[in-house]
């Protein structure tokens, strides 16, 4: 058994400015994770993806106009803020634990409800 966790971004399903190279790659990662979940499921291996919203990281620093993206994401999310690195990390800990033993093949959005909003 075990758990495989990948990281994605909402750019996998929505057109995000300056993300046209990584968006399709993240969409492919999410689809591949679903197929892998089916393949390794009989071995009791779970495969899930975490899709954080706009969050400050080393890689996000390279996205053009990222501070504006953070501001807009916070304003347009259901919780009126962006998620923290700690919230994303806690989700990963949960998905790696036995508490998530029945969860596989899923994309978990940790974005304070940004992905559910009609912006």
Closest alpha carbon to 118 in 76, 64, 80: 76
26 is catalytic: yes
80 is catalytic: no
Q: Which long-range contacts (CB under 8 A, 24 or more apart) does 94-101 make?
A: 95/3, 95/5, 95/46, 95/48, 95/50, 96/3, 96/5, 100/3, 100/46, 100/48, 101/46
What domains, with CATH codes, occur in the chain?
A: 2-116 (3.40.50.720)
pLDDT band for 78, please (50, 70, 90 cuts). Answer: very high
5-31 confidence digits (pLDDT tens): 999 988 888 887 777 888 899 999 999
Closest alpha carbon to 3 in 89, 117, 101, 115: 101
pLDDT at 69 over 70: yes
Q: Which of 26, 35, 109, 114 is catalytic?
A: 26
What confidence score (pLDDT) does residue 118 get?
Answer: 82
């Amino acid at each position: 058994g075990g758990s495989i966790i990948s990281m994605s971004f909402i750019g996998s399903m929505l057109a995000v400015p300056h993300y046209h190279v990584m968006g399709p790659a993240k969409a492919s990662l999410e689809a591949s994770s679903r197929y892998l979940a089916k393949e390794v499921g009989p071995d009791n291996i779970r495969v899930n993806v975490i899709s954080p919203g706009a969050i400050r990281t080393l890689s996000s620093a390279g996205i053009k106009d990222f501070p504006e993206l953070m501001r807009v994401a916070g304003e347009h999310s259901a919780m009126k803020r962006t998620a923290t690195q700690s919230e994303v990390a806690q989700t990963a800990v949960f998905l790696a634990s036995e508490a998530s033993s029945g969860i596989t093949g899923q994309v978990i959005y940790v974005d304070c409800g940004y992905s559910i909003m009609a912006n």
